[in-house]
Amino acid sequence: MTFLDKDYREIITKAVIGKGRKFTQESHSISPSHRPTSILGCWVINHLYNAKKKSDDAVEINGSYDINIWYSYNDNTKTEVVTERVNYTDVVPLSVKDDNCINDEYDVIAKVMQQPNCLECKISNKGHKIIVEIEREFIVQVIGETRLSVKVNPRWENHDDDDDSWGFEVTDDELDDVKPDFLGKKD
């Protein structure tokens, strides 16, 4: 097939040219101001991220979130909340790729499938630090311009395109229902 073939048309459009998914689990070691006795709660909040195409094979997501840990100390007689800001970079490999892009301009869409959340929060063996296990998951899509080749239906070229072929004829019953005074009279 050539691009000048009369039976085909070339369409240039934006389309998904790459897809990927990544699940991440990681540990963070947090140092509270007091030696913890027990963990009372752990929350991950304020998640922010942005994504950009890193290479032909991957998208890079840079983000951050806050880990808040409520813990007791001094033999469970006092409590405190420790907060730590965590920055991360996830490189999401593209498992589906279309190499037929027209140019190097891309839009990247990253969607959080699993917000960062705490899987486990525990006091380390030595007792001075808190270990937090976090999970998160993203899917990404890369949008770019691509070229499609579409076969033209040769029967459509000979198609009679007047309104009668659509079957929109008005019947006598429909004409009888038309009220010529539907706008009302002005006084």
* pLDDT (tens digit per residue) in 115-166: 999 999 999 988 889 999 999 999 999 998 988 888 887 666 555 555 556 6
Whether 1 shows a pLDDT value over 50: the answer reads: no
Beta-ladder partners of 120? 133
CB atoms within 10 A of CB 141: 18
CA distance 51 to 47: 14
User: What's residue 163's pLDDT?
Assistant: 53
Q: What is the pLDDT of residues 45-78, one digit of tens each?
A: 999 999 998 887 899 999 999 999 999 999 999 9
Q: Output the CA–CA distances (angstroms, integers) from residue 140 to 16, 23, 49, 64, 107, in the order listed.
A: 10, 12, 13, 18, 10
Q: What is the DSSP string of 33-47?
A: SS-EEEEEEEEEEEE
64, two tokens: 């951050």
91 bridge partner residues: 60
Question: What is this structure's pTM?
Answer: 0.71
* Rounded to 5°, angle at Cα 50 from 47 and 54: 140
Residue among 117, 125, 127 at smallest CA distance from 42: 117
